[in-house]
Structure 1
Amino acid sequence: MSFKIEKIRDILKEKKLDGFLVSNATNVSYLAESPITDSYLLLTKGKNILLTDFRYILEAQALKNFTTERIDVSFVDTIASVAGKLKLKRVGFEGRSISYSVYVKLKKALKKTVLIDTCDIVEKMRAVKERSEVGLLRKAVKVTEETFFYIRKTLRSGMTEEELKKRIAIYIKSHNGAEEAFSTIVASGPNAAKPHANATTRKIGRGEPIIIDFGVKFSGYNSDLTRTFYLGKMDSKFRKIYDIVLRAQEAAISFIRPGRIVSELDLAGRDVIKNAGFGKQFGHALGHGIGRDVHESPKIFKTAKGHLLMGMVLTVEPAVYIRGWGGVRIEDVVLVTKKGCEVLTDAIYK
């Protein structure tokens, strides 16, 4: 039996729950160790029940250590029937992944069962990666490296943001088993002042910042990388801003090691930018966890709770955005190791 599920059973015992309903698609896939979609998982003290419909019933039945329940009418009716048969009195559920309307229907259908919101049980487990997961992340990073060097070779003035974005997508998909982790950001000149700018028909020019943020998904695991390019001889303003952002990232990465407080990691990078006079131009979090989802636990911001743990994989992405001019963002993927950290994307030039 998977140690992940046994760990959840320990949590159920601690919280005095008879069962735990997993509805977040990524969490279901993680616990079932399968890419199965549109399914739910009900874990009890002695059963692992996968609830799915006709489309995926054969895949579900092929999984070891799981029993299956087919959803014929609705998910709510099926879970109510199973909970009734097992006489479940207290069931935890993932409040963030179930809409209020579905919650109301569940509460009505599960008349003899109390529903307890138990968010982040699986997310906290997913935050610490197993060795095999880190291996898959390294493979995603490898394709990311190759894509970066393709961008360096391809990028030229006169091409549009949309054109470059399409070329990046085609290149990533040319690698067997790889796909885009998210919609690539290509933002040039003033557009680079928008953290999540959409690529436009604007032509990329010389003498301006060009932010490119892209990621690769490989075997269910994601990378996330940002580099800021500049065509031509760098002017003093770009060089100054770039140096500030790079120093902020270096300060943050040097802070990373097990036991450190997550909010202090954010401040380690943020304070460099603030002390340089650009605090108001850096308005988002310093980074985030990454794995099966591009954005997952831990969230790295100035009021975040919790500590860094060995095995966590994070992004560190300080930035400065100046309206009318553009911006600079540098992002890398970092693994928390036993005594410090390893920058998984360290082979990619900054």
Structure 2
Amino acid sequence: MHPNRAKPPSIYRTTPKKGGDDVRNLPTIPAKEFSDRRDNLQREARAAGLDLLVVFSNDRATAGPAHVRYVSDFATHFESSCCLIPAQGESVLVTGPEAEALAQLTAKIDHIVVAEEFKHPEQDHPFSKMSSFPDIIAKMAPALGHKVEKVGIIGQELMDAALYSLLDEHYELSSVDAIMYKYRAVKSANELAVISYAFEIAEAGFEAAVQAAGVGVAEFEIAAAAEYAMRLMGTEGTGLDTIVGTGPHARPIVVRATHRKVERGDLLGVTVIPRYQGYHGAVGRPISIGRPRPELVEAVELGVKAQNEVLKYLKPGAIGREVEQKARDVMATKDLDQYFAYVGIHSVGLVEFEPPIFHATSDVTIQADMVVSVDIPCFLTPWGGF
């Protein structure tokens, strides 16, 4: 059993050395790939008869930054942002005034402008030249050969009502998220390398959590140990707050790390979701502090069996929902399918639960170079969950 407090970072055997080749050689997405993504969406806009795509993001946890990150590598922070991709002409990244300098440093796109609609209404920003959205969009007319009329929005569910209303006054709007998701579903070689490393980070974070866990250690201490290890490996943060639930806190699907201390006999649920280069790599497993309860052993063994059953059928051409059902069928052999709390088989990328999600009415097929999470949820049971 480990001491009562979290261990210092010397325990993290899998973390890279600070500086040197380990840091310089970490995988990234090159600038050209972001340009190619915008080109793909530009062609989709033309094919759909749209004059402009408005790709919107905010800094809401989990999914908020994903759309703009995909087309520009700009990690939306503090203020909302969007990327305007016209059917003809140059794309433009639109930020608020306080994020402008950050975008200039980090975004992989040539044209960056600041929108009045993204500023705080009670702030002054004399250093920033701002324009309204209609004025910014109007400058795209010469390349198109006509005024912008038909606008497709990617990320409409994230967009604040005031901005949507403004756009609705001037243009014919439609929601077109599917245009982007069909590209995001299948990963490039660079994406596969980035995601693979994100999962290496997750494994190191989980190992650090295991090393830190012990009777008398608080949930937040375990979370801190995991996050420290992941930061040392290059993560920019987490896709979801690190989940550490002890005892009764292990039962819900999502929990926050609190001041509750681990007690002997506790079930400890830990999920780490590092965000690396915008991409998520989630690893979640149960830990027993002391001898595990028979119910937990049975459920874990069945969960592993269900996961392996899914892996047998997880091949290009398979219908995703039919593969997902294999896991439910296995869990049903011990009546644990009633605790299968969500769709466990889904794509992974810039969002932990990213379309396609292979739900019961989906006919989407598995494709080569998809990255798929094989998650066997077993939550809200009488004894806890994982």
1:273-312 equivalences under 5 Å are 273-312=331-370
Counterpart for residue 102 of structure 1: 163
Of 132-141 and 39-48, more deviation after overlay is shown by 39-48
RMSD over aligned CA atoms reads 2.7
User: Does 2:148 correspond to 1:88?
Assistant: yes
Counterpart for residue 9 of structure 1: 42
Partner residue of 2:82 out of 27, 40, 48: 40
- TM-score, scaled to structure 1: 0.82
Counterpart for residue 289 of structure 2: 231
CA separation in 2, counterparts of 1:323 and 1:45? 51
Number of equivalences: 325
What SS class does the counterpart of residue 320 from structure 1 fall into?
coil
CA separation in 1, counterparts of 2:40 and 2:230? 36
Of 33-42 and 250-259, more deviation after overlay is shown by 33-42
Counterpart for residue 71 of structure 2: 31
Displacement of 1:67 in angstroms is 3.5
Whichever structure has more strand as a proportion of its residues is: 1
Percentage of matched positions with identical amino acids: 21
Partner residue of 2:275 out of 195, 200, 217: 217
1:70-149 equivalences under 5 Å are 70-72=114-116, 75-82=132-139, 86-94=146-154, 95-108=156-169, 110=170, 113-149=171-207
Of 39-48 and 244-253, more deviation after overlay is shown by 39-48
Displacement of 1:69 in angstroms is 3.9
Change (3 A) 1:211 1:93: same
Change (3 A) 1:305 1:104: farther
Deviating 4+ runs (over 6 angstroms): 61-65
Work out which structure has the larger RCO, using CA pairs closer than 8 Å and 6 or more positions apart in sequence. 2
- TM-score, scaled to structure 2: 0.75
Counterpart for residue 383 of structure 2: 325
What SS class does the counterpart of residue 326 from structure 1 fall into?
coil
What SS class does the counterpart of residue 164 from structure 1 fall into?
helix
Counterpart for residue 264 of structure 1: 322
What SS class does the counterpart of residue 151 from structure 2 fall into?
strand
Which amino acid is the alignment partner of residue 366 of structure 2?
L
CA separation in 2, counterparts of 1:275 and 1:70? 57
Q: Is the 8 A contact 1:22 1:93 kept in 2?
A: yes
CA separation in 2, counterparts of 1:284 and 1:62? 36
Displacement of 1:7 in angstroms is 2.0
Query: 1:141-163 deviations in whole A, cap 9, x for unaligned?
Result: 22222222222322212222233
Displacement of 1:182 in angstroms is 2.1
Displacement of 1:68 in angstroms is 4.0
Q: Is the 8 A contact 1:52 1:60 kept in 2?
A: no
Change (3 A) 1:284 1:196: same
CA separation in 2, counterparts of 1:314 and 1:21? 28
Which amino acid is the alignment partner of residue 240 of structure 2?
F
Structure 1 regions of 5+ residues with no counterpart?
A: 330-350
Change (3 A) 1:284 1:65: closer
Query: 1:244-283 deviations in whole A, cap 9, x for unaligned?
Result: 1111111122221112212122211111112321221222
Change (3 A) 1:180 1:271: same
Of 306-315 and 5-14, more deviation after overlay is shown by 5-14
CA separation in 2, counterparts of 1:98 and 1:233? 49
Which amino acid is the alignment partner of residue 107 of structure 1?
D
What SS class does the counterpart of residue 187 from structure 1 fall into?
strand
Structure 2 regions of 5+ residues with no counterpart?
A: 1-31, 58-64, 117-129
Displacement of 1:52 in angstroms is 3.1
Query: 1:34-76 deviations in whole A, cap 9, x for unaligned?
Result: 4465432222232133133444556459977744444245653
Q: Is the 8 A contact 1:244 1:273 kept in 2?
A: yes
CA separation in 1, counterparts of 2:350 and 2:221? 28
Counterpart for residue 170 of structure 1: 228
Q: Is the 8 A contact 1:190 1:324 kept in 2?
A: no
Which amino acid is the alignment partner of residue 147 of structure 2?
K
Which amino acid is the alignment partner of residue 82 of structure 1?
K
What SS class does the counterpart of residue 162 from structure 1 fall into?
helix
Displacement of 1:197 in angstroms is 2.1
